[in-house]
Amino acid sequence: MPRALKVLLVLVLIGIMAVVAAFFNLKSKAEQAGPHPVNTRVLIHAGSGLKSIAAVLQAQGVISNATQFGLWARLTGQHTKLQAGEFEIPAGASINDILTVLEHGETVVHKLTLAEGLTVTEMLIMIQDAKGLTGSVTNIPDDGMMLPETYHYSWGDDREVLVSRMVNAMSDLIVAQWQMRPKNFILETPEQLLTLASIVEKETGIASERPQVAAVFLNRLKKGMRLQSDPTVVFAITNGSGALGRALTRQDLKTQSDYNTYRVKGLPPGPIANPGRDSILAVMNPADIKALYFVADGTGGHVFAKTLKQHNRNVRNWRRFKRNQK
């Protein structure tokens, strides 16, 4: 064999051995634990290339060498399968582990809890401030049309889409409950159900009281009495922007508004807040009581009365309690 050919074969063999050694060295690096001692969240933006992804991972401290990450991703063919989103990389995750996380797209789940009794304005402020959501809400729902619950979303989800989920959830609940209404129900439309539920929601924060509060208002509607609900006056004064920030006055009760149930008979034109599921169920399943009145009892709850005489006595007790508190 000519000397030149022998030299060439030796060089080729050395080259192959070097490539094999480099491969196994890189494979070993990919299997080693990562440098981060705690779970770490990383955000991969849509449209990011492999080089950008590797740079983000290195900047976040979950890999120590972006070049090694990129080479191994290409060798394994995973570089074309990496997804965008917010991911939680487990503490000490190897390059192989990280590629698996990014490939399968198991993104971090965020939670947004919207409390019962908030107005649409208050809810939209919370949605606007929620971390990770994108876009703006241009289709503003009416008050009462967003179901208060805990909603899950991923980084980059659209605010408008999330609001639509809330509206659809409320619509589905109201429709389902309305179909189960009893015969001779005093309320005439699903909208009235939602309106009364919103008043019940604002009148008490105690779940066990809601059926009793609902019963009082339904009893008053049946007798043609004014509802005389303080929260409706607050809504009239604030135009649904939120809390009043002070106690109601006698002058407030004279506020000219279709929402002021001290002045108008029947229900207001629409909901005064977004009621929760329990308040809606309370209107559909009110307590079997004849009470027409209720007032705070000083413990956070209310005391109920069938007659005005009983109610006046309860009011005096409440006022005495307030004076003692002062």
Q: pLDDT tens across 157-194, in order? A: 999 999 999 999 999 999 999 999 988 899 999 999 99
**320 and 188 both lie in a single domain:** yes
At residue 26 the predicted structure's pLDDT band, cuts being 50, 70 and 90, is low
Q: What is the mean pLDDT of residues 215-232?
A: 96
Count of structural domains, the chain? 3
Q: What is the mean pLDDT of residues 273-289?
A: 96
Q: Is residue 3 part of a domain?
A: no
Given a cut of 70, whether residue 120 has pLDDT beyond it is yes
Q: Is residue 22 part of a domain?
A: no
At residue 22 the predicted structure's pLDDT band, cuts being 50, 70 and 90, is low
Choose between 71 and 282: higher pLDDT.
282
pLDDT score of 304: 93
What domain range is 62 assigned to? 33-107
Q: What is the mean pLDDT of residues 214-234?
A: 96
Give yes or no for a contact between 274 and 144, defined as CB atoms under 8 angstroms apart.
yes
Instruction: Report how far residue 177's alpha carbon sits from residue 282's, in angstroms, rounded to the nearest whole number.
Output: 11
At residue 4 the predicted structure's pLDDT band, cuts being 50, 70 and 90, is low
At residue 313 the predicted structure's pLDDT band, cuts being 50, 70 and 90, is very high
**210 and 320 both lie in a single domain:** yes
**97 and 118 both lie in a single domain:** no
pLDDT score of 319: 84
Given a cut of 60, whether residue 71 has pLDDT beyond it is yes
**83 and 138 both lie in a single domain:** no
pLDDT score of 127: 97
At residue 20 the predicted structure's pLDDT band, cuts being 50, 70 and 90, is low
Last residue of a domain, one of 170, 192, 220: 170
Which token pair is 184? 């001779």
**91 and 120 both lie in a single domain:** no
At residue 296 the predicted structure's pLDDT band, cuts being 50, 70 and 90, is confident
Which token pair is 30? 């990919």
**159 and 188 both lie in a single domain:** no
Given a cut of 70, whether residue 321 has pLDDT beyond it is yes
Q: What is the mean pLDDT of residues 77-81?
A: 89
pLDDT score of 144: 94
Q: Is residue 10 part of a domain?
A: no
**213 and 311 both lie in a single domain:** yes
User: Average pLDDT of the chain?
Assistant: 90
Q: Is residue 178 part of a domain?
A: no
41-68 confidence digits (pLDDT tens): 999 988 889 999 999 999 999 998 999 9
